[in-house]
Amino acid sequence: MVQTSAQDRDIVCLHGFTQNRLAMVRDFVAPLATLYRRIWFVDCPGHGMTPVEPGDPSSFFDALVTIAPHFDLFGYSMGGRLALWMLTTHPGVIERAVVVSAHLGITSAQAREERQDSDERLAQRLESLPYTAGLGNQNLELRAFLDEWNRAPLFGDRALTDSDLRLRLMNQPTQLAASLRSYGTGQQPDLTLALQETSTQLFYLFGETDTTYRAMADRARQLTNCEVQMIDQAAHDALHDQPRLVAAAVTEFLR
């Protein structure tokens, strides 16, 4: 792998499910600006301006590779899964990767089938929501879905602000459904063995009260190239709960 200086590097940032590329700009532009030549905030497939391309999921990773020959990668939740997934499809491209609350992949066939069924039910529900694109449209059914999604125990006491909701309401429900079918956890392979073989330096962050991903962090600790850190007083969305702590941990590792 070619090592580059901080001034010559780019970093790509990938957001979580139902967010878009603007979700992390406020918290990460200032901390990362001193470390990188360019910061790319990218819409994940089915979100914002990135449609889901039918066929091979690696088409999204192929598109990311055109950004630069080598770059660093940051991802939260779904974006973290995609970051880890890309390390296995394009080895040698990513120098450093930071992921927050990211799944390494389901290990059993039965659990994978159950998750695929769950993702499909969620996709069908999203497809049933009426939606009108354009500024000023309320899309109350999608708003109600987002409010319900946010109340999942995984997110602890997180409260979505009006700004959070406006960003999420930019996403079309049919594209979110397509994202689940092509890039959902049920579709992602178990990455554990492949990640053992990558030369990328990994940094895995998880929230103190996120019991599900505390167990995932234990899996990450088994990777010889991975450093793991817990974020105090945070649930699954550690960026929302403790943005300064996350930004400090990320920049310290990347520096």
Residues 129 and 52 in one domain: no
Lowest mean pLDDT among 4-8, 44-48, 78-82, 159-163: 4-8
Residues 116 and 163 in one domain: yes
- Please state the rounded mean pLDDT for residues 107-131: 97
- Please state the rounded mean pLDDT for residues 230-243: 97
Distance CA 74, CA 45 (A): 16
Residues 85 and 69 in one domain: yes
Q: Is residue 60 part of a domain?
A: yes
**pLDDT number for residue 173:** 97
pLDDT band of 2, cuts 50, 70, 90:
very low
CATH number at residue 22: 3.40.50.1820
**pLDDT number for residue 133:** 84
Would you say how long the chain is, in residues? Answer: 255
**Contacts of 128 by beta carbon, 8 Å cutoff, 6+ apart:** none
Which amino acid is present at 102?
A
Whole-number average pLDDT of the chain: 93
Residues 79 and 15 in one domain: yes
**pLDDT number for residue 137:** 75
Domain boundary among 121, 152, 181: 181
Q: Is residue 238 part of a domain?
A: yes
Residues 113 and 99 in one domain: no
Residues 201 and 173 in one domain: no
Distance CA 17, CA 36 (A): 26
Residues 100 and 10 in one domain: yes
Domain boundary among 181, 207, 224: 181
Domain boundary among 160, 181, 202: 181
**pLDDT number for residue 5:** 52
Q: Is residue 1 part of a domain?
A: no
- Please state the rounded mean pLDDT for residues 60-68: 93
**pLDDT number for residue 55:** 74
Residues 99 and 195 in one domain: yes
Residues 100 and 26 in one domain: yes
**pLDDT number for residue 6:** 54
Give the number of other CB atoms < 10 A from CB of residue 65. Answer: 16
Residues 17 and 39 in one domain: yes
Residues 242 and 218 in one domain: yes
Q: Are the C-beta atoms of residues 203 and 96 closer than 8 Å to each other?
A: yes
Select from 180, 182, 196, 186 the least CA-distant residue to 60. 182
Q: Looking at the 3D structure of the chain, how many domains does it have?
A: 2
Q: Is residue 52 part of a domain?
A: yes
Q: Is residue 38 part of a domain?
A: yes
Q: Is residue 215 part of a domain?
A: yes
Residue linked to tokens 């990668």: 73
Residues 100 and 192 in one domain: yes
Determine the structural domain holding residue 117 and report its residue range. Answer: 109-181
Q: Are the C-beta atoms of residues 142 and 169 closer than 8 Å to each other?
A: yes
Residue 64 has pLDDT above 80, yes or no: yes
Q: Is residue 227 part of a domain?
A: yes
Residue 1 has pLDDT above 80, yes or no: no
pLDDT in tens, 5-63: 556 889 999 999 999 999 999 889 999 999 999 999 999 999 999 999 877 888 999 99
- Please state the rounded mean pLDDT for residues 157-169: 92
